[in-house]
Chains A and B, each alone.
Chain A
C-alpha cells in the first residue's frame, strides 16, 4: 500500500499553541519560544502552498552534497568530535545510503582502510587511530563497515579480538562499561549486542544477566533510563528496547507502559519528538523515539494485538523534519534557529525513513519524490545491507572463545 499523506490543517496545529501558565516556569517559557519559531515555519510553508501545492519537499541534492563534502573535510569546530571519528563516518554514510547514493568501490575501500586504522590491537575500535577501544565508536565503525558492504570492508573486523574486547567490558551485573575503566550505562549494552549479533559472536555467556539489568532501567514513566533510578530518556529507551529485542527478551519489559510513554513524547504542535517529558522537541529523537515503534510493533503482535500501522502520527513527524529542520544549503538541524550538523542530519533522515515505512507500506508526505530507502530499526542500517552482513559473518566459523 502506498499513500500520500496530506499536511495537517494549520488551524488544527494552532490549537496546540501553549499559553503561559498561571504559575511561571522555565519549562513553559522555553516551550513557548520554540513553538513560536516552529509555528512561523508552518505558516510560511502554508503561504507558499498557494503557488506550489507539492510542498514540502526534501532537498535531496543539497543533503547529498553537504554529507559528501563532510566525508572529505570537516572544519575545526568538529575538534570536539575527534574522539568520535567512526561516528562521523557512520553519520555521513548512513543518510547517504538512505538517499540512494552509491559510492565507488575504490572510495569504499579508502573508508574501510581508515576505519581499520581505528581498530585497536586489543579488539574493538577507538575514536580515532591510536585511541583506546570504546563501545560507541566500535558500534559506529561496525555499522559503517556494514554500510560499505564490500568483502574488503567486512573483512576489516577482527571478530575474535572484538569478542575479547566485549568480554573485557562486561560487568558481573550484566551491564557493559563503555571502555575499560569507563562509565557504565545502557548505551553499552546496546552497542555491545548490536555488534555481537551482526558479526555472529553473541554467546550466552556474554549476555548473562544483561536482560535483567536492562529491565531494571525501565522507569515508572515507561521509558528506559541510562542507569537504574534515572529519568526515562529517548536515546536510552531506544538502546534498552533494541537490546532486549536482540536478546529476544522484549516480553520482559512493560510494553504497554513503554508505548504510553513513547506516544506522549510526540509534540502536538511541532509533530517531532521530545527526548524526555516536558523537554523541547529535537529532530534526533525522530529516530530514537520513532525507531522504537517498529520494534514495539513486533512485541505487541506477539501478544496478539496487531496495530494496523504506526501508532504515532507519521505525517506530523514528516512535517516537522521537512518543514522545520532542513537547511537550504543541505544538512538538517535539531530545531529552527540551530546550526546544521551531521549527527542531526543522520538521525532526522533516519526518523524520516522510519515515518515513511511501515512493514511494506509507504506513507509519504506530500510527494513520492520525498521517499527514502527504509532502515532496519534494530541497527539503523538499510535492511539489505544488514542481511548481506549477516550472511557474510554467519558463514564464517564461529569464534572459538572460551
Chain B
C-alpha cells in the first residue's frame, strides 16, 4: 500500500526498544481488550513505534525525540490524525522553525497526495507562518501528477481565497483545459475564479459563454463544458432560454442532425423553463411542451437509454407544468 521508507534515513531502522536514549520510557501496548476485532497484523516496526507513541502521548512529552518519533509514526501511517495533532502540539511547545516544517510536510504531501491529514497539516503551518507564497507551486506540482486531485484543489482554493491570490488563475485553468478539455476540476475552478473576482456581470457572461461554446465545438461529448454552460446561464437574467447566442448554437447543431444527449437535454430544459415562465405564449416559440416530450422520448428510447426512466419522469413533469400553465391561462382570460 504505502511506501514506508522514511525519506532521509537510508540506514537500517533501529527499533525504539533497542535505542538507549529511549530506555527511560516504558512502551504502552495498544489496549484492544481481551478479544481484539478487525485486528491488524502489525509489522514489528509499526508496533514498536506506536507503543512508544502511546506512551509519550499519555505523558504529554514535548521534546526533540518525540518530534522525531511522530515523523516515524507519520511515515508508517500518514492517516493517523492523532500523530499529526500531537506533532503540532510539540511544534508549538518547542517553538520550532516552521519553515523547516513546511519543507518537510511538502515532501510528505508529494508522496501521500490523497490523504486528508497531510494537507490539513500543511494548511495549519501556512496559517501559523502567514506565508502562502509556496502554496500555488506545491498544488501545481501535485496536480501535474493528478490534475483532478480533490485535496490539492481544496488546498489551492483555500489559499487563493484566504490570501487573495486570484492573479493568473484563469490562465492556469485555461492551460489545464488545453491539456484535457474534460477535466471537470478545472472547469469547476474556472467557476470559482469568476464567482469570486468579477462575478457574473453581463460582460463576463458573454466572454465565458463564448469560451465555453468554443470548447463544446471542439468536443461535443463533454459533460463538463455543458454543465459549466448551464452554470453560467443560471446567472443570465434571461435564464436558460433567452440567450440567443446559446439558443442559436443549439438549434444550428440540432438542424445539422447532431443528437448529443447533452444538446438534447439542454433543449428540454429550455422548453421546460419557457413553459413555466410564459406558457409558451410567444408567437414563433419553438420551445413547446410537445417538443420537450418528443425529445424526452427520443432520449429515453434512442440517445440516452441508460437514463430512460429519468427522461420519462421529466416528460411527465413537463406535461404537468404545461397543463397547470394552460389552466392558469384559461382562468386569466375568463376573468
Contact = CB atoms under 8 A, between A and B. Distances in A.
B62 interface: no
A27 B180 contact: yes
B227 A277 contact: yes
Interface stretch (A54-62, A77-85, A349-357, A388-396): A77-85
Contacts of A309: 309
A313 interface: yes
B37 A76 contact: no
A118 to B, nearest CB: 9
A82 B77 contact: yes
Contacts of B40: 74-76, 78-79, 81-82, 85
Nearest to B121: A183
Given A81-B40, A114-B32, A279-B148, 5 more contacts: A26-B180, A78-B40, A89-B37, A116-B33, A131-B82
B234 interface: yes
Interface string B75-88: 01111111001001
9 contacts: A71-B37, A71-B38, A83-B80, A181-B85, A221-B188, A229-B195, A263-B310, A278-B183, A279-B148
Contacts of A149: none
Contact of B184 (A78, A114, A266, A278): A278
Contacts of B36: 114
B309 A312 contact: yes
A130 B307 contact: no
B128 interface: no
Interface residues of A, number: 78
Interface in A108-124: 110-111, 113-114, 116-117
Given A26-B147, A83-B80, A277-B224, A88 B43 contact: no
B317 interface: yes
B305 interface: yes
Nearest to A111: B37
B72 interface: no
Interface stretch (A17-25, A163-171, A326-334, A371-379): A17-25
Nearest to A18: B221
Nearest to A134: B81
B306 A271 contact: yes
Interface of B: 1-2, 28, 30-43, 46, 50, 54, 57-58, 76-82, 85, 88, 116, 119-120, 123-124, 147-148, 150, 153-154, 157, 161, 179-185, 188, 191-192, 195-196, 218-219, 221-224, 227-228, 230-231, 234, 304-310, 313, 317, 320
B54 A130 contact: yes
Contacts of A259: 310
Given A117-B33, A278-B223, A220 B231 contact: yes
Contact of A129 (B31, B80, B306): B31
A189 to B, nearest CB: 16
Nearest to A28: B182
A132 B89 CA distance: 13
Interface in A247-287: 259, 261, 263-264, 266-268, 271, 276-279
Contacts of A72: 37, 39
B219 A23 contact: yes
Interface in A196-246: 219-221, 226-227, 229-233
Contacts of A311: 309-310, 313
Contacts of B77: 79-80, 82-83
Given A79-B46, A110-B35, A220-B228, A74 B41 contact: yes
Contacts of A173: none
A53 interface: no
A146 to B, nearest CB: 16
Contacts of B304: 268
Contacts of A263: 307, 310
Contacts of A233: 150
A126 interface: yes
Nearest to A25: B180
A116 B31 CA distance: 11
B35 A113 contact: yes
A268 B31 CA distance: 49
Contact of B307 (A77, A111, A221, A266): A266
A68 B311 CA distance: 42
Contacts of B181: 23, 25
A35 to B, nearest CB: 14
A16 B39 contact: no
B234 A114 contact: no
Contacts of B184: 231, 276-279
B81 A92 contact: no
Interface string A1-35: 00000000000100010000111011110000000
B268 to A, nearest CB: 10
Contact of A305 (B58, B150, B317): B317
B204 to A, nearest CB: 14
B196 to A, nearest CB: 8
Nearest to B58: A130
Contacts of A21: 219, 221
A70 interface: yes
B227 A132 contact: no
A154 interface: no
A89 B33 CA distance: 15
Contacts of B227: 220-221, 261, 277
A336 interface: no
A120 to B, nearest CB: 10
B182 A268 contact: no
A79 B309 contact: no
Nearest to A225: B188
A278 B306 contact: no
Contacts of A110: 34-35, 37
Given A27-B180, A266-B306, A82 B80 contact: yes
B81 A70 contact: no
Contacts of A70: 38
Contacts of B1: 77, 79-80
A95 to B, nearest CB: 14
A131 B39 contact: no
Interface string A292-309: 000000000000010101
